[in-house]
Chains A and B, each alone.
Chain A
Amino acid sequence: MNVFEYANPTTTKEAAGLLAAQWGEAEILAGGTDLLSLMKNYVATPKRVVSLRGIKELSGITSSASGLRIGAMVTLQELHDHKAVHDDYHSLAHAAGSVPSPQIRNLGTVGGDLCQRPRCWYFRNGFGLLAKDEKGQPLVPAGDNRYHAIFGHPGGSPGAYYVHPSSLAPALITFGARVKVAGPKGEREIPLASFFATPKREGERENVLMPNEIVTEIILAAASKGMLTATYEVRQKEALDWPLATASVALRMSGDKVKSARIVLGHVAPVPWPAHEAEKLLAGQTITEDSAAKAGEAAVRGAKALSGNKYKVQLARVAVKRALLEAAAHGKEGMQHG
């Protein structure tokens, strides 16, 4: 690790003032589960580290009639254990609880989950987000791309091929979450669906944050009654690792028919990937093995597998189908109990 200065501000405003106008000069320390490895491997070499631990306004979950406000420093375990999250945002509680290992859930934060850097091994080995060789050619299409994107990549041209690592974003987006960020010019609110971005040029990042902005909270509208939700994750193993493909679904129901559906895939593209075609297909349908399978089909239409990750297309297809069936099963349980 390089030498750096450590700052421990007590307000968000003070913290934003300590960040730099250029990427890379200062880094934010929340839970530390990502930053410490990045710094040890010299992928991050900040001159200043700004800890958010001392900022009280970033902690806690507040539940009100208008919905839920989740502080950026809330840990994944707190999120998972929170009653309102468990009762009304089931797929989110599941996604938080599925992050492997109690130790990581106790340290990792909601803001950190959204802002963690990609797990792409080219990025982690110093080749940058766009993973280029010295001639500027992309390394991923001809390299080991088994865990890389099947959507939203430039298909052989230079560009981003990594998958976004957030565990919470797909579920949060199905609930229409908004993210509040604070910077030197004050606060702004962004729909989480537009928070993530695909870098096109060197120096661009995987979200729309400015270098001196901080995610301060997540805002969820009140859960609609009878909404059915689920997150389904396909993993290589249950030990510490990121999933290969995930699907989060939220279904607004009218009787046993879907009024409207939100479906977002994780770990398949440089951003959480909405499956709009599958959403449209489900409107007015009941969830059956058949309609769920067709939605899975629709969700992966247009997938562009790389040389080594065709298997992920099948995983994504099945993740959508199983998430839908699981959500529908919750609906049946609810009726039996209620």
Chain B
Amino acid sequence: MPDAAKVRIAFRVNGSEHIVHAWPMARLLDVLREELRLTGTKEGCGEGECGACAVLLDGALVNSCLVPALHADGASIITIEGVAQGEQLHAVQQAFLEHGGAQCGICTPGMVLAAVNLLEKCPNPTEADIRNGLAGNLCRCTGYMKIFESVVAACKQQR
């Protein structure tokens, strides 16, 4: 397929404007990782089940493996690389560090974004809100309790 078949996508990623040329059905995941070299976003299952590739698309948590990059044209994306303010970690990231919320690390970017998004929408979540907010993110290491405790700690920290 000639490069001419590629399409232009202009979007904002972690606050900076980007223009990329990608295949029409390239996944947002691939464009982020391969064109922009933002490899914090991980690919797990590739079919929307595990949440390792979760990013924020115009403020909504989505699985970037299910988003055609074209659908991100004109959108604002936040990846895990855009969560900390310079050297200052987000309360969720700090809590994951202090409470053992990350082990192998593959689920962590998606898990952190899910938690950040939850706390933005719902600053005082109940336990059920936290479980529901993280329901689209699978972890095969922690057994979830450390992650859950990290998010609870981050909520307390934010108050």
Contacts and interface: CB of A to CB of B under 8 A. Distances in A.
Interface of A: 1, 3-6, 8, 29, 31-33, 36-37, 39-40, 49, 51, 53, 77, 100-104, 106-107, 238-240
A77 B25 contact: no
Interface of B: 1, 5, 7, 24-25, 27, 46-49, 51, 54, 57, 60-63, 65-68, 70-71, 114, 117, 132-133, 135-136, 138
A135 B138 CA distance: 41
B54 A103 contact: yes
B48 A33 contact: yes
A102 B135 contact: yes
Nearest to B65: A36
Query: Which of A4, A37, A101 is packed against the most chain B CB atoms within 10 Å?
Result: A101
B136 A240 contact: yes
Contacts of B114: 102
A106 B54 CA distance: 11
A238 B65 CA distance: 21
B136 A51 contact: no
Nearest to A104: B48
Given A103-B63, A104-B136, A240-B48, 6 more contacts: A6-B70, A37-B47, A103-B48, A239-B135, A239-B138, A240-B49
A101 B136 contact: yes
Query: Which of B1, B67, B114 is packed against the most chain A CB atoms within 10 Å?
Result: B67
A103 B48 CA distance: 8
Contacts, number: 76
A82 to B, nearest CB: 15
A103 B133 CA distance: 10
Contact of A6 (B24, B47, B54): B24
The 9 closest A-B pairs by CB, nearest first: A101-B136, A6-B24, A106-B60, A103-B136, A103-B63, A240-B49, A37-B47, A33-B66, A102-B61
A49 to B, nearest CB: 7
A140 B89 CA distance: 53
B67 A32 contact: yes
A36 B61 CA distance: 18
A236 to B, nearest CB: 14
Nearest to B54: A103
A29 B62 contact: no
9 contacts: A6-B7, A33-B66, A36-B65, A36-B68, A53-B71, A100-B135, A102-B135, A238-B135, A240-B48
A39 B25 contact: yes
Contacts of B57: 106
A100 B1 CA distance: 37
Contacts of A238: 135
B133 A102 contact: yes
B51 A106 contact: no
B11 to A, nearest CB: 14
A7 to B, nearest CB: 10
Contacts of B132: 102
A228 to B, nearest CB: 24
Contacts of B66: 31-33, 36, 103, 107
Contacts of B67: 32, 107
B32 to A, nearest CB: 15
Contacts of A106: 57, 60-62
A6 B25 contact: yes
Contacts of A33: 48, 66
Contacts of B117: 102
Nearest to A33: B66
B1 A32 contact: no
Given A37-B47, A51-B71, A4 B136 contact: no
B42 to A, nearest CB: 14
A51 B132 CA distance: 30
A37 B66 CA distance: 8
B113 to A, nearest CB: 10
